[in-house]
């Protein structure tokens, strides 16, 4: 095995609830490989078509195609960038700069063949699994800028954001970087994916400004059937996120799948109940949003908590994220159109911060990882959340300003009124 594997494998598995695998002389495990191949397909299925349909149904009829093509295009762009340099810089070792960024041995994935292993997995499977995470993070951000951002600007920003925000944070937490060395725990992306994407989305929505007529004009979803279909795909696919993050077909994967499902269902029921009490009727959009909030909040902790802890997390998600939407839209006046930050950003951050408490045996958890006390681990988690969110906000702000100077961020008023389907993509979602 290459020299960098001796750095990567211990660092990565230090934050996962599994026995450390052998480095030199490790052997392919067909069961683990089959499960991670399946999990990779599930996570990619979450983005296209899952997230595309979920978001597509929430916008107006004149913008549905724009959301679909944005999800497909971002998936394609990120996949190429991951091959060119994202994977190498995020998840390989670097003797000199290891705390900050990975190495360049795998630029263009050179040398990655069928015989290369990461622990018990083919390295190609490990690379592809993390590619599906890298795709999902910038795709999430589409929900905050729909119906008004230029397609070219979205692609430019997504590509730059991947390399300058996602890749460094991924390395810091999962690639043996300085946060991993401190003992930060993020089982399935609450910090790396949801915190960074949520913070960037809030920044982008603020810089872009609200959609025309917002908040006075009611902008109802045009097709909740599409949204429900997408939510169902996200629900099932999320098990690839959580259970796949064990990187083995073992009890940790099973526990992560169980806790993910319980948190999602509890979040859906609690959100529906809060909405029912507050507004007099439960809605499909409410139960779907609560479901997604429950999935997001459990991501950083899925392999460390028990079923009871997952139930508590779902209750938190169904209440905290519900009221966070009002705080962002009415309190700050930011048009995060599809509530990416209050659902994903807030959920991911809260889940990461609650990990030390809910991992205790008193709540049915597997115990604190790393041997820290609850107070120590909470402080470590808080630093990781603040650093990741702050880095994402600062770099995203600079990148958005750069993109705005080069090609402009927002479509013209006439294009926005006409709808992005026709003005940007020369098509219509429906012909009646």
Residue 1, pLDDT score:
39
Residue 96, pLDDT score:
86
Residue 13, pLDDT score:
41
Confidence of residue 9 (pLDDT cuts 50, 70, 90): very low
Token readout for 226 is 């599409």
Maximum Cα–Cα distance across the chain = 64
Token readout for 62 is 């004149």
Residue 5, pLDDT score:
41
pLDDT at 25 over 70: no
**What does pTM read for this prediction?**
0.92
Residue 6, pLDDT score:
38
Token readout for 346 is 């807030």
The closest of 160, 161, 169, 216 to 189, measured between CA atoms, is 169
pLDDT tens-place string over residues 218-263: 788 999 999 999 999 999 999 999 999 999 999 999 999 999 999 9
Torsion of the alpha carbons at 297, 303, 306 and 310, rounded to the nearest 10: 10
Cα distance between residue 379 and residue 318, in whole Å = 25
Between the alpha carbon of residue 12 and those of residues 8, 120, 181, 286, the distances in Å are 6, 13, 10, 36
The count of residues in the chain is: 432
Spatial contact of 169 and 391, defined as CB atoms under 8 Å apart? yes
Q: What is the CA radius of gyration of the chain?
A: 21
Residue 315, pLDDT score:
98
Run of H or E including 118:
strand 117-118
DSSP for 341-388, written as a single string: IIIIIHHHHHHHHHHHHHTSGGGT----GGG--HHHHHHHHHHHHHHH
Cα distance between residue 143 and residue 240, in whole Å = 22
Cα distance between residue 43 and residue 23, in whole Å = 27
Q: How far apart are the first and last CA of the chain?
A: 60
Run of H or E including 277:
helix 251-279
Lowest mean pLDDT among 18-32, 45-59, 344-358, 374-388: 18-32
- Which residue would you say has higher pLDDT here, 37 or 20? 37
Cα distance between residue 342 and residue 337, in whole Å = 11
Q: State the helix-helix crossing angle for 307-316 and 284-298, rounded to 10 degrees.
A: 130
Cα distance between residue 280 and residue 144, in whole Å = 28
Alpha-helix residue ranges (DSSP H) falling in 146-250: 151-161, 167-174, 178-182, 196-208, 224-242
The closest of 315, 225, 313 to 270, measured between CA atoms, is 315
Between the alpha carbon of residue 254 and those of residues 9, 129, 222, the distances in Å are 22, 18, 37
Torsion of the alpha carbons at 69, 74, 75 and 80, rounded to the nearest 10: 130
Residue 147, pLDDT score:
97
DSSP state of 146: T
pLDDT at 108 over 70: yes
Q: Could you tell me which residues come within 8 angstroms of residue 300 by beta carbon, excluding any fewer than 6 positions away?
A: 185, 186, 187, 188, 189, 190, 191, 194, 348, 351, 352, 355
Average pLDDT score over residue span 154-172 = 98
Between the alpha carbon of residue 225 and those of residues 57, 139, 234, 403, 420, the distances in Å are 7, 21, 14, 35, 21
């Amino acid at each position: 095995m290459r020299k960098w594997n001796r750095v990567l494998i211990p660092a990565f598995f230090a934050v996962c609830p599994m026995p450390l695998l052998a480095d030199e002389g490790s052997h392919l495990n067909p069961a683990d490989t089959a499960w991670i191949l399946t999990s990779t397909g599930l996570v990619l299925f979450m983005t296209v078509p899952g997230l595309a349909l979920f978001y597509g149904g929430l916008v107006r009829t004149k913008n549905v195609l724009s959301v679909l093509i944005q999800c497909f295009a971002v998936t394609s762009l990120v996949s190429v960038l991951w091959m060119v340099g994202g994977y190498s810089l995020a998840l390989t070792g670097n003797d000199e700069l290891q705390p900050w960024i990975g190495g360049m041995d795998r630029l263009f994935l050179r040398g990655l063949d069928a015989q290369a292993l990461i622990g018990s997995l083919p390295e190609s499977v490990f690379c592809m699994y993390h590619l599906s995470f890298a795709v999902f993070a910038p795709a999430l951000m589409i929900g905050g800028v729909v119906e008004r951002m230029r397609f070219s600007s979205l692609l430019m920003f997504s590509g730059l954001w991947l390399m300058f925000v996602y890749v460094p944070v991924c390395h810091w937490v999962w690639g043996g970087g300085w946060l991993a060395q401190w003992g930060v725990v993020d089982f399935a992306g609450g910090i790396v994916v949801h915190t960074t994407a949520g913070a960037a989305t809030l920044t982008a929505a603020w810089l872009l400004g609200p959609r025309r007529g917002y908040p006075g004009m009611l902008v109802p979803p045009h097709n909740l059937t599409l949204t429900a279909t997408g939510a169902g795909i996200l629900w099932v696919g999320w098990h690839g996120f959580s259970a796949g993050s064990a990187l083995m077909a073992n009890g940790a994967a099973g526990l992560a799948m169980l806790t993910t499902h319980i948190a999602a269902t509890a979040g859906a029921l609690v959100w529906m109940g809060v909405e029912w009490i507050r507004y007099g009727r439960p809605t499909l959009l409410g139960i779907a949003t609560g479901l997604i909030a429950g999935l997001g909040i459990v991501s950083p902790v899925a392999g460390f908590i028990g079923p009871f802890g997952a139930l508590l997390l779902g209750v938190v998600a169904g209440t905290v994220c519900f009221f966070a939407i009002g705080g962002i839209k009415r309190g700050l006046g930011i048009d995060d159109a599809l509530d990416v930050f209050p659902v994903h950003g807030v959920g991911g951050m809260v889940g990461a911060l609650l990990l030390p408490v809910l991992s205790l045996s008193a709540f049915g958890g597997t115990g604190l990882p790393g041997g820290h006390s609850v107070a120590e681990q909470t402080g470590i988690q808080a630093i990781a959340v603040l650093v990741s969110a702050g880095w994402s906000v600062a770099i995203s702000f600079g990148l958005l300003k750069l993109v705005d100077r080069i090609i402009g961020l927002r479509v013209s008023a006439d294009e926005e009124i006409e709808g992005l389907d026709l003005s940007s993509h020369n098509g219509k979602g429906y012909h009646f």
